[in-house]
Structure 1
Amino acid sequence: MSSVSEGRFPRSSVPLLTPPTRRATLLTDDGVPVEAVYEPCTALHGRPDEDAARTPAPAPAETTAIVVAHGFTGAVDRPAVRRAARVFARRAAVVTFSFRGHGRSGGRSTVGDREVLDLAAAVAWARELGHRRVVTVGFSMGGSVALRHGALYGAAAHPDAGAHAGARADAVVSVSAPARWYYRGTAPMRRLHWVVTRPSGRFVGRYGFRTRIATGEWDPVPLPPVAAVPRIAPAPLLLVHGDRDPYFPLDHPRMLAEAAGPGGAELWLERGMGHAENAADDALLARIAAWATAVPPA
C-alpha cells in the first residue's frame, strides 16, 4: 500500500481546537486507488476550559485508530459515515475510506471479495501515520470484509508478521454482517442480488446509488464470514446486530458468535435497531468506540 497523493482541509487559526484532517488516495496491493480521510482524536478539543486549550494533542502512538468500513453503496462522504466518524473521534483517531467502485475510489465493487485489500490499505495507512493500535469497525458488507480481513491478516494467519504486519487489526468490530454468502431470505436481499447480478440492476447501482459493480462472478468464492470468525483470535471480536434488521435476521449474528467459540466474541443484540450505519444511533456508536478503545490488544 502507498499513499499517492495527500492534502489537508483548511484549518482554523487555533489548531489545538480543530486538529487537521487529511485526505489521501491510497493504492491497494492490486493497484486500485482508494480515497481515504484521516481525523485525529478530538477528545481534548472543543472544550472551553483553558487547560484543554493548553494541552497538546496526544501523539498517534498513544491513540487508538478506528478504521471504518462502510456498507454497500456507502462512501466516505455519506452522512451516516461522517456521523460515525464524528462520534468515534471523541475517543480515537478515525480513518474512513470508500471501497472500490464507491465514491471517488477507482475500480468496481466486488461486493465483499477484493474489498479486503481496500481495508488492508486503510489499516496500513493508519499505522504509517504513527498509530500502534488499530481497530476495524465494519458495517454490513464492510462488516463481512472486517471479519475476513481479521482472519486473513491476523496474527494467527501470519504468526511471523512480515509484510502483513502493518495491515493487521488489533481488534475487530462487525455490525449487521451476514454469516454466509448468497443469502436471499429477505426482500431487501433479493433486491440487492438483482442490483448485483443483472445488467439492469447494475445500471441502477451505477446511476441510482453511485456504485460501480463488477460483472464477473467470484472465482474463487471468498472465505465466508462464518468460516473467517474462528481465525480472528487472539484479536478481540465484537459482533453487533439489530433485532429489526430487514436484511439479515438474528440467526446470522448468532451463527457468527457460535463459530467464534467460547470466549471468542462478544455479541450485542440491539433492541429496535435496523441495519448497519444508517440505523446505528450516536449512543450505540459511542459504546462501540468505548469498547474499541478499552479492550486489551491481542
Structure 2
Amino acid sequence: MVTPEPLTLYTGDGVRIDAGHTSFDGEVCFILAHGFTCSWRQPALRRIAAALGRHGGVIGLDFRGHGRSGGHSTVGDREVLDVAAAVAAARRRGYERIVLTGFSMGGAIVVRYAALHGGVDAVVSVSAPARWYYRGTVPMRRVHWVIERRAGRMAVRLARRTRISSKGWDPVPEAPHEVAGRIAPVPLLVVHGAADPFFPVEHGHQLYEAASDPKELWIEPSFGHAEVAATPDLVNRMAVWATEAVSATPAPLAPDEEPPGREHRD
C-alpha cells in the first residue's frame, strides 16, 4: 500500500486540516470524505484510498474536530470549508477533474459542497443521510446522544479522538435533500445499502429523487453502512463510474476565487 504524502491544509475560517495525498499520473483526483468519528488514517479509509488510487489521485482528509485536524466538528455544517481546502489543494497539484467521494456524514457534506460551491466534476455519496435529525434506528439514537449530551461528547472525544462543538446549529444548515437538485449538471451517484443499520434505504431514495439528471442510484443488497462495509469491488465500481462520468462531460468552470487558506507539507 502506497504511503500518502502528508499535508496540512488551512480552511477559509482558519481551521487546520490533516490530510494525505496519493499521487497519480492523470487528470482525476478523488477527494475522500470520511464518516462521523472516522479518519483518513484508519485502515478502512486507507483501503478505500488504495482502491480509488488505481483510477486517480486521492486526497483524504480528517474533518475538523476529527483525528489530527484542529477545531470542533459541526457534524456536516462548516465541514464544507474543509472540502474546499482539499479541492484547492488538488487544483494546485494540477488535477483537472475532481471527484468528491463521501461516506455517511462525509456523503452528506460532499452533496452540500457540490450544491453550494460547485467547481467539481462528479459526486459519489455513500450511505448518507438525506435529512437531519433522523432517530429511527438504535445506532442513530446513540449518535444523537453523543452529539447532544456533554457526557456523550466527552466519551467520543476520549474513545474516538473526535471533538464535537457544544454550540449546535444556528442556523440549521440546508439538509442534503434540500440542495441536491443544485448539483446538476455535475453527475451524482447515490449508493446505499439495503442492510444499512443507521439509515434505511429511504434516505438513498429521497436524496436521489431530490437530485436532477444526470444521476444514478445504486441500492446494494448486502451492503451495510459506509466505510467499514465497503468492499474493494464496490469501491472499484464507484471509481469506474466516476472516471467514465467525468470523461463524458466537459470540465466545469472552476470558481472565480479560490477559498482563502494555505498549506504546508509535513
Same fold (TM over 0.5): yes
Report the counterpart of residue 7 of structure 2 in structure 1.
24
Q: Higher Cα Rg: structure 1 or 2? A: 1
Report the counterpart of residue 219 of structure 1 in structure 2.
170
Matched, 1:132 2:84: no
Q: Which amino acid aligns with 2:82?
A: D
CA displacement at 1:20 relative to structure 2: 7.6
Matched, 1:268 2:218: yes
Report the counterpart of residue 19 of structure 2 in structure 1.
36
3-state SS in 2 of match to 1:277: helix
Q: Is the 1:19–1:40 Cα contact (8 Å) retained in structure 2? A: no
Gaps of 5+ in 2: 253-266
1:124 and 1:242 map into 2 onto residues whose CA distance is: 31
What number of residue pairs does the alignment pair up? 248
3-state SS in 2 of match to 1:202: helix
1:226 and 1:271 map into 2 onto residues whose CA distance is: 23
Partner deviation per Cα, 1:245-292 (whole Å, 9 max, x = no partner): 00100111111111114x342000001110001111000000011111
Matched, 1:63 2:20: no
Q: In the alignment, which of 232, 242, 245 is matched to residue 196 of structure 2?
A: 245
Matched, 1:108 2:72: yes
Gaps of 5+ in 1: 1-17, 42-57, 155-167
Q: Which amino acid aligns with 2:112?
A: R
Q: Is the 1:20–1:40 Cα contact (8 Å) retained in structure 2? A: no
Q: Is the 2:27–2:94 Cα contact (8 Å) retained in structure 1? A: no
CA displacement at 1:40 relative to structure 2: 1.4
Aligned CA distance change for structure 1 residues 251 and 26 (closer, same or farther; 3 Å) = same
Q: Which amino acid aligns with 1:190?
A: R
Q: Which amino acid aligns with 2:78?
A: R
Q: Is the 2:125–2:190 Cα contact (8 Å) retained in structure 1? A: yes
* 1:1-298 to 2 correspondences below 5 Å: 21-41=4-24, 58=25, 62-154=26-118, 168-261=119-212, 263-295=213-245, 296-297=248-249
CA RMSD of aligned residues (A): 1.3
1:213 and 1:269 map into 2 onto residues whose CA distance is: 31
Q: Is the 1:137–1:146 Cα contact (8 Å) retained in structure 2? A: yes
Q: Is the 1:87–1:285 Cα contact (8 Å) retained in structure 2? A: yes
Query: Which consecutive aligned stretches of 4+ in structure 1 deviate over 3 angstroms post-superposition?
Result: 18-21
Provide the TM-score with structure 1 as the length reference.
0.81
Aligned CA distance change for structure 1 residues 104 and 39 (closer, same or farther; 3 Å) = same
CA displacement at 1:19 relative to structure 2: 7.7
Provide the TM-score with structure 2 as the length reference.
0.91
Calculate percent identity across the aligned residue pairs: 53
